[in-house]
Amino acid sequence: MAALTVHFSTCSFSNPHPPSVRNPSYSYPSRARISCSASTPMSFTDFPYVSSPHKDLMVELVSTVENRLDSILKPCSLPADIQSYQNSTGTAHAALHLRSGVPSSQIDFILGSWLHCELPTGGALNITSLSAYLNSSTDAPNLVVELIRSSPTSMVLVLDLPPRKDIVLNPDYLKKFYEDTQLEQHRQHLMNLTEVTPYFSSSLYFRSVVSPTAILVKIETETLDEMIETHFGPIAKEVLKVWLDVCVFGENVVSESERDYLKNRDGMSKRKTIEIDLESNLPRLFGQETANHVLEALREVF
């Protein structure tokens, strides 16, 4: 569900079981089991399975988006059993948070999710995601933030403003959103750290839609939480600020003739998210009945 974002991800953009995290040894706290009981519904912002620095970062990112955009966002209208759900055996849990933009705004919708999945090999996979989609009244990039944690010492990070126009045909787009905003410095900063290596998704589609400044890295270190606090956290907040200031509140209005192109492109991207990520992974993790219920609700928005 990378889990239900980009993506659901990838962006949804991404595979919830990337090759680099297929054999995790993450041991989660016993308190998490208690918070997941059927009688205790979990809020999206609880992030019950991750460390405090990981949770604090996600809460701050979500709060920043909602505080800046609150007046142009509708309340989350997902059914309660989709805002928080689990499989029949209690080995997989997930939460969803979705707020659509009001008709007069440039926001299509904001989507947040987290996924916790115990694995047969032992340990667990924990994914937290925040993505934002703009509508066809603007051509500005979307936003995706994803932390894929497979153990206390290993994490894959996805942070990007995916373009919505062909950069080759539109060099001014590259300059405005990626060069003038100096996003490349953040990617280079992380790549200069000895604990960081590039992450290459197995999804060719995912690799074709990210931007030239996309942060796609794997961090391996005994001080992972410290890395989140001192390196990735500040970068994620700065990239989010760029997205809000330049993409959402910047002057990016497009002509009527361009809106059909953007609407078709955005529609294809959303269909691919459902097809590549969710339709294949949700039934395996949560069973077909629950997967169908979640997919039905998401298709109404996507």
What is the reported pTM?
Answer: 0.87
For the chain, the first-to-last Cα distance in angstroms comes to 15
CA torsion sign, 104 to 210 to 228 to 189?
Answer: negative
Answer whether 144's CB lies under 8 Å from 7's CB. yes
Residues ≥6 apart with Cβ < 8 Å to 237? 60, 61, 64
Per-residue pLDDT in tens (0 to 9) along the chain, 302 residues: 333 333 333 333 333 333 333 333 333 333 333 333 344 557 899 999 999 999 999 999 999 999 999 999 999 999 999 999 999 999 999 999 999 999 999 999 999 999 999 988 888 999 999 999 999 999 999 999 999 998 889 999 999 999 999 999 999 999 999 999 999 999 999 999 999 999 998 888 889 999 999 999 999 999 999 999 999 999 999 999 999 999 999 999 899 889 999 999 999 998 888 888 788 889 999 999 999 999 999 988 88
How large is the greatest C-alpha to C-alpha distance in the chain, in angstroms?
A: 56
Structure tokens at 14: 């991404």
- Architecture category of domain 60-301 in CATH: 3-Layer(aba) Sandwich (3.40)
Provide the 3-class DSSP secondary structure of residue 116: strand
Contact call for residues 144 and 162 (beta carbons, < 8 A) = yes
**Integer-rounded Cα radius of gyration of the chain:** 18
**184-191 and 233-242 helices, crossing angle to 10°:** 170
